[in-house]
Each structure stands twice: as structure tokens, then as C-alpha cells.
Structure 1
Amino acid sequence: MSVAFVDLDHVKLRYGGNADAPLALDETSMKIDKGEFVAVVGPSGCGKSSLLKLVSGLMPPSEGNVIVNDREVSGPLKIVGMAFQNPTLLPWRTTLDNVLLPLEIVEPYRGRMRGERKAFEEKAMQLLAKVGLGGFERKFPWELSGGMQQRASLCRSLIHEPDLLMLDEPFGALDAFTREELWDILQGLWMERPFTVILVTHDLREAVYLADTIYVMSNRPGKILLRQQNPLPRPRDQETTFRQDFIDLVHALKNQIRVVRSTSSEGGQS
């Protein structure tokens, strides 16, 4: 039996370290294989982003264990790349320099940056070209559209070739057409080099389009209610979204979340 690359074992999380503080996550368990693309969906405030903080080592669990790459997580992981809903590009740096930023921070690249900068710049420019930003390397963030900024942010999260990519609503602020273009770009990058991905999203179509496995979480405190395998073949394209099996899977997930929300309301929870 293979060992999971990411393994959360009965994890609980309370913010503030107070034993009496309400739980954000409760008895959360999850196993993700190396190279697997996972999406996590659920009601707002259910702890999806907290899950990312635990796996990346930005926050320790209150109870339970978080294992990544066969080691217990005890602090921020160097093997992680992250992208968020807001691109958070540094306004005084060009697109190229923003993408290179992790190489200036993360070892072993940091120690090699001065001597190998030209090679790293070439690598970054090739990555920018793959996402449609060739020719925009010297532009500043304020000269880019929102979709272009998010493409640059995606490149920045991948430039150091992380084994684990954490995505927290990365396309949530974009228009539908730009969002779907970025689905294709992300899928293409992942299929070229299948790194492990955990995508947090409210968009069920996005989850079904991109993920191998979809986890549905309960209302706060978050628990995993459902693990749904995605049978749709790859590569997926926009025509896939009109297929009946795609539509049926989106509806099944939507109904599951509707049940979660209604159960919470009946129970008097917020």
C-alpha cells in the first residue's frame, strides 16, 4: 500500500491556542497521493483556507497529525508554492522580478541566485510565455489586467518547481472567460509536470474541471463529509463542461452542499 504524500489524521484546529476556543476544524482526515489534483469545496467559513495553512505549515494543528512527504509538518514547508485570490504582486517589481521572488528566498536557489541569475531569468521567461505573458516581462503590475496579474502570480508559485501547490480561490475575482482560460493553463502546466495540488474553491464547475478528487466539507467546524472521485477523462476542454456527466457531477456536489447548509440551519448554527 502506497504512503500518501499529504496525510491529515484526525486533525483539530482552534485559533488562538485556547483549549476553550471554538473549533475551526474538527476530526478532519484526508489522504492525497503524490501528483494528485485535489479540490476542496464547502460552505463559506467551513475551514477550507485553514486546511491550507495546516498543510503548508503556516499553522500547527491543535490535535492530530499533519504529514507531508512522509514527515510531520512542524513549520513552513519549502516544497510548497501558493497562489491566492488576490495576486499580491509587489508594485515596484516588474512581472519578471515578481516571478523570480521565490528564487531569492527559497534555498537552494537563494544561494545560487547571484551566479545563475541569467539562467533563472530564462526559466521564468519560458514559464511566462507558457501562460501567455511573453513580451510582458518588463511590465509592472499596474500595467497588467487582473487576469494577467493572476497568470504572473501562478508563475511565481511554480518557478521553484514545488512538489505541492496550494491554491486559495485563485480565480475567484476574475470574469468567467478569463477564469476558464486559466483553468486550461493550469491543467496544461499540471499535465506537463504532475505536482500535487490542493485547490480551495467555491466554484463547483472549477472543481470538476480541474480535480481528480473533490472533497466536500461540512459547516464550521469543518469536517470532510464526502470524497468524490472524478471519472472525467483528461485533457478536459470547454466542451467537457457541456457533457451530461460533467453537469451531473456538478449537480451532485451542489446538492450535497445544499444538504449541509440546510442541516446547519435546522440545527441553529450560523
Structure 2
Amino acid sequence: MTTFVDIQDVTHVYARAEDGAPAVQNLNLTVREDEFAAIVGPSGCGKSTLMKLATGLQFPREGTVIVGGREVGAPVKLAGMAFQNPTMLPWRTTLDNILLPLEIVEPHRSRLRKHKAEYVAKAECLLAQVGLKGQGHKFPWQLSGGMQQRASLCRALIHEPKLLMLDEPFGALDTFTREELWCVMRDLHAAQKVTIILVTHDLREAAFLADRIFCMSARPGRIVAEREVEFPRPRDLEITYSAPFASLVQELRGHIAQARAAA
């Protein structure tokens, strides 16, 4: 399978770091095309830094970052992003919030006015896929937190990204809503065929959603363990109560405990 994200021997130091210590060091990671990868590790290990490097929001001091066959030297236009906070603009309807990336990203920006109906239909289709059919006219403040996060996923996918970066997207939600959105994300990945990198502290979330899980060390971050997830797809929530699933979660917890102890 083709490698889509290739991070090789990367070290990155933030300019604002008073001690000059790297956030990540000798970081190596490859993610295959259409793969669902999850990144886990102790707090402050550089998970979000990895996300910024893969999308061109930061550039490494050493090493190379290649996405879609090209070395990253500018923000990656083929990427979509969703965060823990949906950050919906309160003065725009849900539909208009979803269409927002099309006002920025080419070639959609040049096509938007002339092909508005086409894009609206696409947004409505995405809303239906995430269980928000008929909700596009509502404003964010009329939606629950879980509904806003569903709309945020639609916004991240509206411009047909080849890479979807998810930074703790369900972390602020209650357990039941979070698990509902795991299933939404599972179904979106199956339907969209997009490469996904999920950054999460939730080991159950990583084990349920991912094809492969990478565990990072404490800062400076690097990959200390890599685990293929062999549960067949599509996965139902019942699998999270099985002994093999619990064993995988415990294994991941052990890697992170070792990483913290070594810090």
C-alpha cells in the first residue's frame, strides 16, 4: 500500500521554548494511504506537534515531512482538520459554517459562487451521513455539543481532503455521545476513503477506530511502539467489551506507563 504521510528523522524545537528543548526528536512515522492511524502517548509528548508538522503549520528543524508525495514547505491544502473545540462561527448557520473552507481553499474558492448549489447539496449529504439531516439552517447555539462536533467533521471533509487530522475531537463529550461519534467516524472513513490521523488520550477510542496505533515517548517525543489493530471491520461497540479488546488497551497503557516512567 502507498505511503501517504512520511515523517523521517524529524526534530522540532519551538522558537518560544525557553530551554531550547525539542518537542519531538528523531521522530519517524509512516502512514499508508486510506489508513486510519491513531497517535497516543503521555501529556506533552508532542502529539499535537506531530499534527502541525504533517499539515505544514510548523516546519522541522531537522528531517523531512512528506505528504502525498511532496515535501511539506507550506500549509497542506489537501488536509482537513477537526479539534476538541468545534469553533463554529455563531453568526453563521450550520450549513454556512460547513461551507467556510470552500471560501478559502482553491480550486473551490473560484468555483463556489457559480456552483453554490452543488456544494450545498454536498454539505447536505454530509450532514445526513453524520445524523444531522435537515439541521443545516440552525445556528451553532441551537445545537448540542455533540451535534456541533458532527458539523465540525462535515466542515473538515467538505473540500474533499486526502488527509484528515483529528486532534482530540471527542475529548470534551460525555461517554455516550463520544461512542456515538466513534461510530460516525468509523462510517465516514469507510465511505470517504480518506487517510486519517487521530491524536487522542483515549486508548479505547484508538483501539476501536484505528488500523494502526503509534505510542509516543515523553518529551522529546518519538515513536516507541507501533501496534496493528487486527479486529475486522466494520466494528461494533460490542467489541469494546471483549477480552481481546481489553488486552489491547492494557498493552497500550503499559507502553504509555513505561514512557512516563522513563521521562
Contact 2:127/2:154 (CA < 8 Å) preserved in 1?
yes
What CA distance in whole angstroms lies between the structure 2 residues aligned with 1:30 and 1:187?
23
Alignment map for 1:1-270 (pairs within 5 Å): 3-16=2-15, 21-264=20-263
What CA distance in whole angstroms lies between the structure 2 residues aligned with 1:19 and 1:66?
25
What CA distance in whole angstroms lies between the structure 2 residues aligned with 1:74 and 1:19?
25
What CA distance in whole angstroms lies between the structure 2 residues aligned with 1:208 and 1:81?
22
Contact 1:8/1:67 (CA < 8 Å) preserved in 2?
yes
Amino acid at match of 1:197: I
**Runs of 4 or more above 3 Å deviation:** 17-20
Amino acid at match of 1:245: P
Contact 1:65/1:72 (CA < 8 Å) preserved in 2?
yes
- Listed one character per residue, the Cα deviations across residues 65-109 of structure 1 (whole Å, up to 9, x for unaligned) are 000111100010110000000001111100000000111111111
Q: Decide which moves more: 14-23 or 172-181.
A: 14-23
How far off is 1:31 after superposition? Answer: 0.7
> Match of 2:97, SS?
helix
RMSD of the TM alignment (CA)?
A: 1.3
The share of aligned pairs that are identical, in percent, is: 57
What CA distance in whole angstroms lies between the structure 2 residues aligned with 1:38 and 1:27?
19
> Match of 1:88, SS?
coil
Contact 1:8/1:66 (CA < 8 Å) preserved in 2?
yes
Does the C-alpha gap of structure 1 residues 17 and 144 become closer, same or farther in structure 2, counting only changes over 3 Å?
Answer: closer
Contact 1:17/1:62 (CA < 8 Å) preserved in 2?
no
What CA distance in whole angstroms lies between the structure 1 residues aligned with 2:60 and 2:138?
41
> Match of 2:114, SS?
helix
How far off is 1:58 after superposition? Answer: 0.5
What CA distance in whole angstroms lies between the structure 2 residues aligned with 1:229 and 1:16?
35
Contact 2:53/2:65 (CA < 8 Å) preserved in 1?
yes
Q: Compute the TM-score of the two structures, normalised by the length of structure 2.
A: 0.98
Q: Compute the TM-score of the two structures, normalised by the length of structure 1.
A: 0.95
Does the C-alpha gap of structure 1 residues 190 and 111 become closer, same or farther in structure 2, counting only changes over 3 Å?
Answer: same
Q: Decide which moves more: 239-248 or 196-205.
A: 239-248
- Listed one character per residue, the Cα deviations across residues 181-236 of structure 1 (whole Å, up to 9, x for unaligned) are 00000110101122100000000000000000000000011010001110111101
What CA distance in whole angstroms lies between the structure 2 residues aligned with 1:136 and 1:195?
25
Amino acid at match of 1:107: E
Contact 1:58/1:76 (CA < 8 Å) preserved in 2?
yes
Contact 1:5/1:31 (CA < 8 Å) preserved in 2?
yes
- Listed one character per residue, the Cα deviations across residues 22-48 of structure 1 (whole Å, up to 9, x for unaligned) are 100000000111001000000000000
> Match of 1:83, SS?
strand
- Listed one character per residue, the Cα deviations across residues 141-199 of structure 1 (whole Å, up to 9, x for unaligned) are 11110000000000000011100000000000000000000000011010112210000
Does the C-alpha gap of structure 1 residues 153 and 11 become closer, same or farther in structure 2, counting only changes over 3 Å?
Answer: same
How many residue pairs were aligned?
Answer: 263
What CA distance in whole angstroms lies between the structure 2 residues aligned with 1:194 and 1:123?
16
**Unmatched segments (≥5 aa) in structure 2:** none
What CA distance in whole angstroms lies between the structure 2 residues aligned with 1:185 and 1:100?
20
What CA distance in whole angstroms lies between the structure 2 residues aligned with 1:209 and 1:115?
41
Q: Decide which moves more: 238-247 or 149-158.
A: 238-247
